[in-house]
């Protein structure tokens, strides 16, 4: 993961700020570098996947740690591997983990690339194991997402079949249904926040919606996230 900050202020001012704050990540200066990703207030953060697609954007303070961790679960990166593993690496970075594992195993069987093949296979195993652990011990929404990720990125496997059965079971639980409904309401409100573009009247109405969500769904993750947005 790489962090890149963009400022539209003078280079000398930015350099002074970097020195004063001890910033170690990359900082650039531009007036239009992010035009392709849409506008927003200042500060405005973007989480961009390896494919260039924006997974999330908004005020940095409005992205809770657990939500950041959730979004990062959708990223697939590898260190450089031998040319014989090129197809496996490409599949991995597209999120096709079952295919990546199969290709890596085939390359290993041909010989000469055991270390890199084992690396790819191990990365697949680590990711799937992480999802499985979340599906077992996480909060309801995390469990559902982890189960969905196993099915999407590891299809045709026993793990995917088990994930589908567990997902169906969870979605039948009234408490989980409440979590899903509340989160859907919050996502709709977040969309309204982005479209409001700092309009005081619109933001006032949105604030009321957030307060109503907290009042009606106070025990859900969505309500906790709504409280962060209000801050």
Tell me: the pLDDT tens digits for 145-188? 999 999 999 999 999 999 999 999 999 999 999 999 999 999 99
User: Is residue 193 one of the residues assigned to a domain?
Assistant: yes
Identify whether 23 is part of a domain. Answer: yes
Residue 163 lies in a domain: yes
Burial readout 55-82 (b: 16 or more C-beta within 10 A, e: otherwise): ebbbeeebbeeeeeebeebbebebeebb
- In contact, 145 and 132? CB cutoff 8 Å: no
Q: Which domain holds residue 125?
A: 83-172
DSSP code, position 36: G
Number of domains comprising the chain: 3
Q: Are residues 193 and 226 in the same domain?
A: yes
User: What DSSP designation does 198 have?
Assistant: T
pLDDT tens for 202-230 read 989 999 999 999 999 989 999 988 888 88
Let me know whether 98 and 166 are in one domain.
yes
Identify whether 76 is part of a domain: no
pLDDT, tens digit (0-9, with 9 covering 90-100), for 65-100: 666 666 666 678 888 999 999 999 999 999 999 999
pLDDT in tens, 112-141: 999 999 999 999 999 999 899 999 988 899
Q: What pLDDT sits at residue 49?
A: 63
Mapped onto helix, strand or coil, the DSSP state of residue 5 is: strand
Q: What is the predicted pLDDT for the residue at 100?
A: 97
Q: What angle do CA 171, 172, 175 make, to 5 degrees?
A: 80
Residue 215 in domain: yes
Which segments of the chain does DSSP mark as H helices, in order? 11-21, 65-72, 86-93, 97-110, 114-137, 140-153, 158-171, 174-196, 200-216, 221-230
Domain assignment of residue 159, yes or no: yes
Are 120 and 145 in a shared domain?
Answer: yes
């Amino acid at each position: 993961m790489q962090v890149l900050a963009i400022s539209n202020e003078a280079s000398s001012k930015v350099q002074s700020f970097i020195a004063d704050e001890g910033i170690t990540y990359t900082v650039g200066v531009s007036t239009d570098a992010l035009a392709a990703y849409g506008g927003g207030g200042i500060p405005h953060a973007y989480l961009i996947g390896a494919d260039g697609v924006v997974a999330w954007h908004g005020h940095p303070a409005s992205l809770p740690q657990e939500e950041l961790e959730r979004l990062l679960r959708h990223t697939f990166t590898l260190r450089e591997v031998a040319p014989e593993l090129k197809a496996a690496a490409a599949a991995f970075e597209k999120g096709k983990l079952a295919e990546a594992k199969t290709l890596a195993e085939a390359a290993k069987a041909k010989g000469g690339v055991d270390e890199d093949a084992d690396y790819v296979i191990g990365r697949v195993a680590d990711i799937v194991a992480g999802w499985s652990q979340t599906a077992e011990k996480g909060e309801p929404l995390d469990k559902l997402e982890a189960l969905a990720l196993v099915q999407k990125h590891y299809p045709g496997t026993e793990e995917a079949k088990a994930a589908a059965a567990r997902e169906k079971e969870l979605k039948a639980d009234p408490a989980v249904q409440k979590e899903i409904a509340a989160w859907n309401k919050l996502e709709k409100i977040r969309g309204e926040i982005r479209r409001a573009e700092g309009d005081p009247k619109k933001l006032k109405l949105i604030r009321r919606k957030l307060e109503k969500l907290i009042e009606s769904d106070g025990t859900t993750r969505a309500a906790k996230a709504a409280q962060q947005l209000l801050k």
